[in-house]
Structure 1
Protein backbone atom coordinates (compact mmCIF):
# COMPACT_ATOMS: atom_id res chain seq x y z
CA UNK A 1 0.00 0.00 0.00
CA UNK A 2 1.47 3.33 -0.95
CA UNK A 3 2.15 5.91 1.71
CA UNK A 4 -0.43 8.35 0.30
CA UNK A 5 -3.18 5.70 0.36
CA UNK A 6 -2.28 4.74 3.93
CA UNK A 7 -2.39 8.39 5.06
CA UNK A 8 -5.71 8.85 3.25
CA UNK A 9 -7.18 5.93 5.20
CA UNK A 10 -5.90 7.43 8.43
CA UNK A 11 -7.37 10.84 7.74
CA UNK A 12 -10.68 9.35 6.66
CA UNK A 13 -10.86 7.11 9.75
CA UNK A 14 -10.17 9.94 12.18
CA UNK A 15 -12.77 12.09 10.39
CA UNK A 16 -15.35 9.26 10.62
CA UNK A 17 -14.57 8.83 14.34
CA UNK A 18 -15.16 12.55 14.86
CA UNK A 19 -18.47 12.46 12.97
CA UNK A 20 -19.52 9.35 14.91
CA UNK A 21 -18.73 11.03 18.19
CA UNK A 22 -20.76 14.12 17.23
CA UNK A 23 -23.72 11.94 16.23
CA UNK A 24 -23.66 9.93 19.45
CA UNK A 25 -22.73 12.68 21.92
CA UNK A 26 -25.15 14.08 24.45
CA UNK A 27 -25.24 17.86 24.21
CA UNK A 28 -27.82 18.27 26.97
CA UNK A 29 -26.28 18.74 30.44
CA UNK A 30 -27.16 16.16 33.08
CA UNK A 31 -27.35 17.16 36.73
CA UNK A 32 -25.99 14.84 39.39
CA UNK A 33 -24.43 12.45 36.91
CA UNK A 34 -22.91 10.33 39.69
CA UNK A 35 -26.40 9.42 40.94
CA UNK A 36 -27.23 7.57 37.71
CA UNK A 37 -26.07 4.09 36.77
CA UNK A 38 -24.17 3.41 33.57
CA UNK A 39 -27.22 1.77 31.97
CA UNK A 40 -29.37 4.82 32.73
CA UNK A 41 -26.76 7.11 31.22
CA UNK A 42 -26.53 5.01 28.05
CA UNK A 43 -30.33 4.98 27.70
CA UNK A 44 -30.51 8.73 28.29
CA UNK A 45 -27.69 9.38 25.83
CA UNK A 46 -29.32 7.24 23.17
CA UNK A 47 -32.60 9.10 23.61
CA UNK A 48 -31.22 12.64 23.32
CA UNK A 49 -28.33 12.12 20.88
CA UNK A 50 -28.67 13.09 17.24
CA UNK A 51 -28.37 9.50 15.98
CA UNK A 52 -26.78 7.29 18.63
CA UNK A 53 -26.78 3.92 16.78
CA UNK A 54 -25.32 5.42 13.59
CA UNK A 55 -22.64 7.27 15.56
CA UNK A 56 -21.60 4.12 17.41
CA UNK A 57 -21.56 2.12 14.17
CA UNK A 58 -19.32 4.76 12.54
CA UNK A 59 -16.92 4.74 15.50
CA UNK A 60 -16.73 0.92 15.54
CA UNK A 61 -16.19 0.64 11.80
CA UNK A 62 -13.53 3.37 11.76
CA UNK A 63 -11.63 1.72 14.61
CA UNK A 64 -11.85 -1.63 12.79
CA UNK A 65 -10.49 -0.09 9.58
CA UNK A 66 -7.69 1.61 11.55
CA UNK A 67 -6.66 -1.66 13.18
CA UNK A 68 -6.81 -3.70 9.95
CA UNK A 69 -4.95 -1.07 7.92
CA UNK A 70 -2.28 -0.67 10.60
CA UNK A 71 -1.80 -4.44 10.89
CA UNK A 72 -1.50 -4.69 7.11
CA UNK A 73 1.10 -1.93 7.06
CA UNK A 74 3.06 -3.56 9.91
CA UNK A 75 3.07 -6.96 8.17
CA UNK A 76 4.11 -5.33 4.91
CA UNK A 77 6.98 -3.51 6.65
CA UNK A 78 8.12 -6.72 8.36
CA UNK A 79 8.18 -8.55 5.04
CA UNK A 80 10.39 -5.84 3.56
CA UNK A 81 12.47 -5.81 6.75
CA UNK A 82 12.10 -2.05 7.12
CA UNK A 83 12.37 -0.76 10.65
CA UNK A 84 11.72 2.96 10.18
CA UNK A 85 8.26 2.86 8.49
CA UNK A 86 7.09 0.39 11.13
CA UNK A 87 6.81 3.02 13.88
CA UNK A 88 3.87 5.05 12.49
CA UNK A 89 1.47 2.11 11.89
CA UNK A 90 2.35 0.69 15.29
CA UNK A 91 1.54 3.99 17.01
CA UNK A 92 -1.74 4.23 15.09
CA UNK A 93 -2.63 0.64 16.01
CA UNK A 94 -2.00 1.31 19.70
CA UNK A 95 -4.01 4.55 19.50
CA UNK A 96 -6.96 2.75 17.88
CA UNK A 97 -6.89 0.06 20.56
CA UNK A 98 -6.79 2.69 23.31
CA UNK A 99 -9.72 4.59 21.75
CA UNK A 100 -11.68 1.33 21.53
CA UNK A 101 -10.91 0.40 25.13
CA UNK A 102 -11.89 3.85 26.41
CA UNK A 103 -15.18 3.88 24.54
CA UNK A 104 -16.01 0.39 25.78
CA UNK A 105 -15.06 1.19 29.38
CA UNK A 106 -17.26 4.29 29.42
CA UNK A 107 -20.17 2.26 28.06
CA UNK A 108 -20.50 4.07 24.75
CA UNK A 109 -20.33 1.00 22.56
CA UNK A 110 -23.10 -1.55 22.23
Structure 2
Protein backbone atom coordinates (compact mmCIF):
# COMPACT_ATOMS: atom_id res chain seq x y z
CA UNK A 1 0.00 0.00 0.00
CA UNK A 2 1.41 3.39 -0.95
CA UNK A 3 1.27 6.38 1.33
CA UNK A 4 -0.39 9.47 -0.17
CA UNK A 5 2.11 12.20 -0.89
CA UNK A 6 1.45 15.59 0.69
CA UNK A 7 0.68 18.46 -1.64
CA UNK A 8 3.56 20.86 -2.04
CA UNK A 9 1.48 23.48 -3.79
CA UNK A 10 0.79 26.78 -2.15
CA UNK A 11 -2.78 26.79 -0.84
CA UNK A 12 -4.99 29.14 -2.84
CA UNK A 13 -5.71 32.59 -1.43
CA UNK A 14 -9.37 33.56 -1.22
CA UNK A 15 -11.02 36.95 -1.31
CA UNK A 16 -14.03 37.53 0.92
CA UNK A 17 -17.00 38.58 -1.25
CA UNK A 18 -17.64 41.52 1.10
CA UNK A 19 -14.32 42.98 -0.09
CA UNK A 20 -15.19 42.74 -3.81
CA UNK A 21 -16.34 45.74 -5.81
CA UNK A 22 -19.24 45.50 -8.23
CA UNK A 23 -16.78 46.29 -11.04
CA UNK A 24 -14.57 43.33 -10.08
CA UNK A 25 -17.59 41.01 -9.86
CA UNK A 26 -18.88 42.10 -13.25
CA UNK A 27 -15.42 41.76 -14.81
CA UNK A 28 -15.09 38.21 -13.46
CA UNK A 29 -18.51 37.29 -14.85
CA UNK A 30 -17.98 39.01 -18.21
CA UNK A 31 -15.90 36.18 -19.66
CA UNK A 32 -17.83 33.31 -21.30
CA UNK A 33 -15.43 30.63 -20.03
CA UNK A 34 -15.75 31.89 -16.46
CA UNK A 35 -19.55 31.99 -16.82
CA UNK A 36 -19.42 28.35 -17.96
CA UNK A 37 -17.35 27.42 -14.91
CA UNK A 38 -19.78 29.24 -12.61
CA UNK A 39 -22.81 27.57 -14.21
CA UNK A 40 -21.26 24.11 -13.92
CA UNK A 41 -20.29 24.72 -10.31
CA UNK A 42 -23.82 25.95 -9.56
CA UNK A 43 -25.13 22.59 -10.77
CA UNK A 44 -22.67 20.56 -8.69
CA UNK A 45 -22.37 19.95 -4.99
CA UNK A 46 -19.74 21.65 -2.88
CA UNK A 47 -16.27 20.22 -3.49
CA UNK A 48 -17.49 17.80 -6.21
CA UNK A 49 -15.64 19.33 -9.16
CA UNK A 50 -11.89 19.27 -9.64
CA UNK A 51 -10.25 21.87 -11.86
CA UNK A 52 -9.44 19.28 -14.53
CA UNK A 53 -13.06 18.11 -14.80
CA UNK A 54 -14.30 21.09 -16.81
CA UNK A 55 -14.61 20.77 -20.58
CA UNK A 56 -13.69 24.26 -21.76
CA UNK A 57 -11.74 25.23 -24.89
CA UNK A 58 -8.69 26.73 -23.18
CA UNK A 59 -5.21 25.57 -22.17
CA UNK A 60 -4.48 24.38 -18.65
CA UNK A 61 -2.61 27.63 -17.90
CA UNK A 62 -5.52 29.75 -19.13
CA UNK A 63 -7.98 27.68 -17.12
CA UNK A 64 -5.83 28.21 -14.05
CA UNK A 65 -5.97 31.97 -14.65
CA UNK A 66 -9.79 31.83 -14.94
CA UNK A 67 -9.98 30.04 -11.58
CA UNK A 68 -7.72 32.71 -10.06
CA UNK A 69 -9.99 35.50 -11.32
CA UNK A 70 -13.04 33.72 -9.87
CA UNK A 71 -11.27 33.29 -6.50
CA UNK A 72 -10.15 36.92 -6.44
CA UNK A 73 -13.71 38.07 -7.13
CA UNK A 74 -15.10 36.09 -4.20
CA UNK A 75 -17.03 33.65 -6.39
CA UNK A 76 -14.97 30.57 -5.84
CA UNK A 77 -13.34 28.70 -3.00
CA UNK A 78 -10.77 26.00 -3.66
CA UNK A 79 -9.03 23.37 -1.57
CA UNK A 80 -6.43 20.76 -2.34
CA UNK A 81 -7.30 17.09 -2.03
CA UNK A 82 -4.18 15.13 -2.91
CA UNK A 83 -3.25 15.87 -6.50
CA UNK A 84 -6.64 17.50 -7.21
CA UNK A 85 -7.84 21.00 -6.50
CA UNK A 86 -11.54 20.95 -5.66
CA UNK A 87 -13.92 23.86 -6.14
CA UNK A 88 -16.95 25.33 -4.41
CA UNK A 89 -19.11 28.16 -5.70
CA UNK A 90 -19.55 30.66 -2.87
CA UNK A 91 -23.13 31.31 -3.86
CA UNK A 92 -24.57 32.16 -0.45
CA UNK A 93 -21.76 34.60 0.36
CA UNK A 94 -21.78 36.14 -3.13
CA UNK A 95 -25.58 36.47 -3.16
CA UNK A 96 -25.42 38.30 0.17
CA UNK A 97 -22.99 40.81 -1.38
CA UNK A 98 -24.64 41.10 -4.83
CA UNK A 99 -28.28 39.94 -4.54
CA UNK A 100 -29.63 38.56 -7.83
CA UNK A 101 -26.41 38.88 -9.84
CA UNK A 102 -25.66 35.15 -9.97
CA UNK A 103 -29.29 34.39 -10.81
CA UNK A 104 -28.97 36.64 -13.87
CA UNK A 105 -25.71 35.00 -14.91
CA UNK A 106 -27.08 31.50 -14.47
CA UNK A 107 -30.08 32.31 -16.71
CA UNK A 108 -28.11 34.02 -19.47
CA UNK A 109 -26.26 33.42 -22.72
Q: Normalising by the residue count of structure 1, what TM-score does the alignment of the two structures yield?
A: 0.28
**Greater RCO structure (CA 8 Å; 6+ sep):** 2
> Larger Rg: 1 or 2?
1
Question: Which protein has the bigger helix share?
Answer: 1
